[in-house]
Amino acid sequence: MEEGESNDTVSDRSAQSQPLIATSETLELFHDDVKYLWTTSEIPVYDEPPSSLEFLRNHVAVSRPCIIRNAILNESSGRPLTLTLDDFVENFSQLKLQVDVTPDGHGDCLRKVAMPTEEGASCTEPVFVKPMEMELPIVDFCHHLRAGRAKQVQNDDEKKTLQRLDQIRDQIFPYADKRNDDYVKTGAVVSLDDCVLYYSRQNDCLRKEMDPLWNWKSPFDEGSTSNVFPRSIEWAEQAFTGTNRGHTHRGPDAVNLWMGDERAVSAMHKDHYENLFYVLSGEKVFSLCPPADAPFLYERQVVSGQFQSRISQPGRSDAAPSWSVTIDTVDQSEEMPPSSNAPRKNYAKVHWIAADPFRQHAHRDHPLLRYAHPMPNVRVRAGEMLYLPSLWFHRVTQTCETVGINYWYDMCFNSPLWCYFHLLQQLQVDPNHNGDDNE
């Protein structure tokens, strides 16, 4: 202690010099705070849309999900709008879709790939694998979706489903050194009934790629000039943007359409959007984690790639497809110095979540999950809308053939929530640290 310094001064200086370490006790306290904030009660359900002020105060401002009934109405009946895949086929039979195709419904997620090493051998590592894409008329999409479901799901019980999920997680796909565009573009080369099809474009597809459907007038009221799909969800937009009724509205950043069944699963991820998801038919199942769980979900930088398929016996369109993964690369002329001789450095990478908090015994491989707050099985039925705040982590599937539409509104980055979340993303938490800094 220097002359003239008090014990309090030394204590303050010592505290300021300590590294930022999240001890087990600190994490337990944080876990309890988040639990009481977000997960002690069920998600609220409104029988009709709340006012913009109520929605802003009780949900947007505090980042709390809710379910809203009667959010989009059938103008002629006054009941919640419902539409099926058959309705789209009947009215838009020539509509072309860019469809996601996977061997098992698990695309846009981490899969095991036998990657080559610089020594010429191979090693298994997790790769973020995107679905193969294929253009299909909506009629063919409907046919193969249902034929594949009948073939793959009809004999499944809960035990078989769990076994199938384990097989999916453990399957190792071969590495393909070059994408074969013929396989990707030609639907005839794969037996689509052995695949899982899912329509999940996230590029404002309803407005950019489906103009006839987006501008569809009410099929329930002959002579109607009203659009089936609202241009925006006005009461929600007012809460998101602070605009008042009568002002010019910016509208959503994107409006997307989703079609698939229970075989398709969207892996845990987050979006930088305020999300309003409306189920037109079927049932969606969302499994959620609040933004505060960011340090505990093991988000990592991984190599990215894409599925490709080829039939095992050339010339037979009924042969079961075999699957491999091609690896995405960066433009070497822009990203890598000319002298680089390590091809692996050219692999494109993304950040993705490695842990699955909803998998049984997942904490054995990812011990930090014990501090997370998984909220499984939030069911959204036909005629209901889920408000999912920006930055909430979500894993999504269906219980049957399901059609949905969602409106994405840009999140507010000029907010305390974003600063807080950005800090959480940067934290490196050691699950084995015991808080003793004297060792």
Span 329-350, pLDDT tens digits: 987 444 444 434 446 778 999 9
Which pLDDT belongs to residue 165?
A: 73
Average pLDDT over residues 99-124: 90
Pairing of strands 283-289, 375-381: antiparallel
Q: Does 10 map to a domain?
A: no
pLDDT digits (tens, 9 = 90+) for 182-212: 444 444 446 888 899 999 999 999 999 999 9
> What length does the chain have?
439
> Which ranges in 18-84 belong to alpha helices (H)?
24-34, 52-55
Angle at alpha carbon of residue 111, lines to 97 and 158, rounded to 5°: 85
| pLDDT at 245 > cutoff 60 | no
Domain that holds residue 74: 19-426
Q: Does 396 map to a domain?
A: yes
Distance CA 85, CA 139 (A): 9
Cα separations (Å) of 199 from 130, 193, 209? Answer: 13, 15, 13
pLDDT digits (tens, 9 = 90+) for 123-152: 999 999 999 999 999 999 999 999 999 988
Q: Does 437 map to a domain?
A: no
AA identity, residue 38: W
Q: Does 334 map to a domain?
A: yes
| pLDDT at 109 > cutoff 70 | yes
Which pLDDT belongs to residue 248?
A: 55
Q: What is the DSSP code (8-state) at residue 328?
A: P
Q: Does 24 map to a domain?
A: yes
Q: Does 7 map to a domain?
A: no
- Reported in sequence order, the residue ranges of 87-226 that DSSP labels E, i.e. its strands, are 96-102, 106-107, 109-116, 122-130, 132-137, 172-176, 196-198
User: What SS3 class is residue 337?
Assistant: coil
Write out the two tokens for 154.
């009809």
Number of domains making up the chain? 1
Q: Does 4 map to a domain?
A: no
Do residues 319 and 63 lie in contact, with contact meaning Cβ atoms separated by under 8 Å?
no
Average pLDDT over residues 222-245: 84
Do residues 308 and 180 lie in contact, with contact meaning Cβ atoms separated by under 8 Å?
yes
CATH number at residue 389: 2.60.120.10
Q: How far is CA 285 from the centre of its chain?
A: 12
pLDDT digits (tens, 9 = 90+) for 389-427: 999 999 999 999 999 999 999 999 888 889 999 888 888
Q: Does 9 map to a domain?
A: no
Distance CA 39, CA 290 (A): 9
Do residues 284 and 398 lie in contact, with contact meaning Cβ atoms separated by under 8 Å?
yes
